């Protein structure tokens, strides 16, 4: 019997990862997963071009919806503080087959997202040096960031924190330029317009509703805090706050710069007629040198996001090996913790290798399609898990408890069902890819894990944390 098997057969996971992160350091890595500057420059423009000034309203509505997601994440992570995240909740609350289906969805989606993010690096680095463009730049970024991600978690918290400060500086520049040169008032936030053949044309409420899933995706990443829960001090008490603080910060640092651009753009018609509205704004208000400097800052933000997401998905893979999801030798390799770094180095290198291969081999357009519905499906699972949280005899949170339960998860499930229906109507291939990924995971569970269920996927209790000298912060 392997050491890994012994560790998970005793009824409780052992503390193998280094519990060295403070609440603040967890927030730094989590915000790096969100990469708010990348969202503002890459995702938010799609909303801005679709509904004009009402993009601020759209993000505000999405932030309210994100609160439903955030409080569900907060109580689930405080109840089951296990580093595997969503799949560990689904397995315990919705059944093991769907749990492994959720694992497959989050793992595949994570690897694809790493590739998508990294491939965007060249678009911004080429503003400083035109040769820094193409698929090879993305591949090099993944390889380099994988090495960094393999280091100990506290070092990574501060590395990503420095990068995060750089990208926040880029957003501060955007904000200051907008509010220093006001061209219109806050009433513009209610004006839903898009560029037409004969100037700006008004669009209806339906356009705002249709863009809410995109806005929700712009905030995605605050739930990543749970992947570092076994490395966070006093996690039972603080993990819920980490998630909610990360959500609030994310919403503010994305909505405020967008509001500044809407208020300060020299011409709404020119802004909405540009393929890159944020860069148009920077060129008009700050000049080409500032636009280049900010573009480099966005490239660094993308690099930061790649580091953070590799760290996250590596811990997902490590957790799956610890739960004995694979053949014995594979479990032993992927579930091994580096004695010096106290991090899952083998799992990290595997995630880096798969992401590099994905970036090189699969076209970017297909990658974007493949990840289109995954966030909605994961949030749907999270909402369903939260509905099952307080059933009789279930484990209860030793930290955060959401108000008005079960209303938040009911609203979340209803909202995500609506989003999935809309995605299925507008882009059925995105929904099909997500559902097929889940189905493959369920099939694997029944084909490999279920026949060996006596010593696999026993789902022990979370690590029993020992707090020295009182509560950690």
How confident is the model at residue 470, as a pLDDT?
A: 46
Q: Is residue 460 part of a domain?
A: no
How confident is the model at residue 347, as a pLDDT?
A: 98
How confident is the model at residue 472, as a pLDDT?
A: 41
* Residues of the chain predicted below pLDDT 50: 1, 3, 5-7, 9, 469-473
How confident is the model at residue 469, as a pLDDT?
A: 47
How confident is the model at residue 336, as a pLDDT?
A: 95
Q: Is residue 213 part of a domain?
A: yes
Q: Is residue 179 part of a domain?
A: yes
Could you list the residue range(s) of the whole structural domain that residue 169 is in? 3-7+20-452
Q: Is residue 93 part of a domain?
A: yes
DSSP 383-407: HHHHHTTTSTT----SS---TTTTH
> What is the pTM (predicted TM-score) of this model?
0.91
Asked whether 225 and 400 are in contact (CB, 8 A), the reply is no
Query: Residue 220 belongs to a domain with what CATH number?
Result: 1.20.1740.10
DSSP 302-358: HHHHHHHHHHHHHHHHHHHHHTT-S-HHHHHHHTPPPTTT-S-HHHHHHHHHHHHHH
pLDDT digits (tens, 9 = 90+) for 364-378: 888 888 887 899 999
Q: Is residue 287 part of a domain?
A: yes
Q: Is residue 255 part of a domain?
A: yes
Q: Could you give the percent of the chain with pLDDT greater than 70?
A: 95
pLDDT digits (tens, 9 = 90+) for 53-92: 999 999 999 999 999 999 999 999 999 999 999 999 999 9
Domain count, the chain: 1
Q: Is residue 466 part of a domain?
A: no
Strand-pair partners of 202: 193
Q: Is residue 468 part of a domain?
A: no
Neighbour-count burial for 230-246, b at 16+ CB within 10 Å, e otherwise: bbbbbbbbbbbbbbbbb
């Amino acid at each position: 019997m392997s050491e890994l098997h012994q560790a998970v057969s005793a009824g409780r996971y052992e503390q193998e990862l280094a519990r060295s992160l403070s609440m603040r350091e967890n927030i730094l890595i989590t915000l790096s997963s969100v990469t708010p500057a990348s969202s503002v420059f890459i995702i938010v423009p799609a909303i801005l071009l679709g509904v004009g000034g009402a993009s601020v309203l759209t993000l505000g509505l999405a932030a309210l919806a994100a609160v439903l997601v955030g409080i569900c994440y907060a109580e689930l992570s405080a109840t089951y503080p296990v580093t595997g995240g969503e799949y560990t909740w689904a397995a315990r609350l919705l059944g093991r087959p769907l749990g492994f289906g959720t694992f497959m969805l989050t793992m595949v989606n994570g690897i694809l997202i790493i590739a998508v993010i990294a491939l965007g690096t060249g678009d911004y680095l080429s503003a400083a040096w035109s040769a820094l463009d193409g698929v090879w730049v993305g591949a090099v970024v993944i390889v380099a960031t994988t090495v960094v991600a393999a280091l100990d978690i506290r070092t990574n918290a501060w590395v990503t924190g420095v990068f995060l400060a750089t990208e926040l500086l880029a957003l501060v520049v955007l904000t200051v330029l907008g509010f220093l040169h006001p061209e219109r008032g806050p009433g513009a936030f209610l004006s839903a317009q898009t560029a037409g053949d004969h100037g700006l044309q008004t669009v209806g409420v339906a356009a705002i509703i249709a863009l809410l899933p995109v806005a929700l995706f712009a905030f995605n990443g605050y739930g990543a805090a749970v992947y570092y829960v076994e490395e966070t001090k006093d996690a039972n008490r603080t993990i819920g706050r980490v998630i909610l603080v990360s959500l609030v910060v994310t919403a503010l640092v994305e909505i405020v710069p967008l509001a500044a651009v809407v208020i300060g753009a020299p011409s709404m018609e020119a802004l909405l007629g540009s393929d890159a509205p944020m860069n148009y704004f920077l060129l008009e208000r700050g000049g080409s040198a500032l636009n280049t400097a900010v573009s480099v800052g966005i490239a660094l933000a993308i690099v930061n996001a790649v580091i953070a997401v590799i760290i996250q998905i590596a811990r997902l893979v490590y957790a799956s090996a610890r739960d004995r999801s694979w053949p014995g030798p594979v479990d032993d390799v992927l579930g091994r913790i580096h004695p010096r770094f106290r991090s899952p180095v083998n799992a990290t290198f595997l995630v880096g290798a798969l992401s590099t291969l994905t970036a090189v081999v699969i076209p970017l357009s297909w990658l974007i399609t493949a990840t289109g519905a995954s966030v909605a499906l994961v949030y749907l699972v999270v909402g369903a898990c939260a509905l099952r949280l307080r059933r009789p005899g279930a484990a209860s949170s030793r930290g955060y408890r959401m108000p008005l339960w079960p209303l938040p998860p009911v609203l979340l499930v209803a909202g995500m069902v609506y989003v999935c229906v809309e995605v299925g109507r507008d882009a059925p291939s995105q929904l099909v890819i997500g559902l097929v990924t889940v189905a493959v995971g369920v099939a694997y569970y029944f084909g490999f894990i279920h026949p060996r269920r006596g010593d696999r996927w026993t789902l022990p209790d979370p690590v029993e944390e020992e707090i020295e000298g009182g509560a950690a912060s």
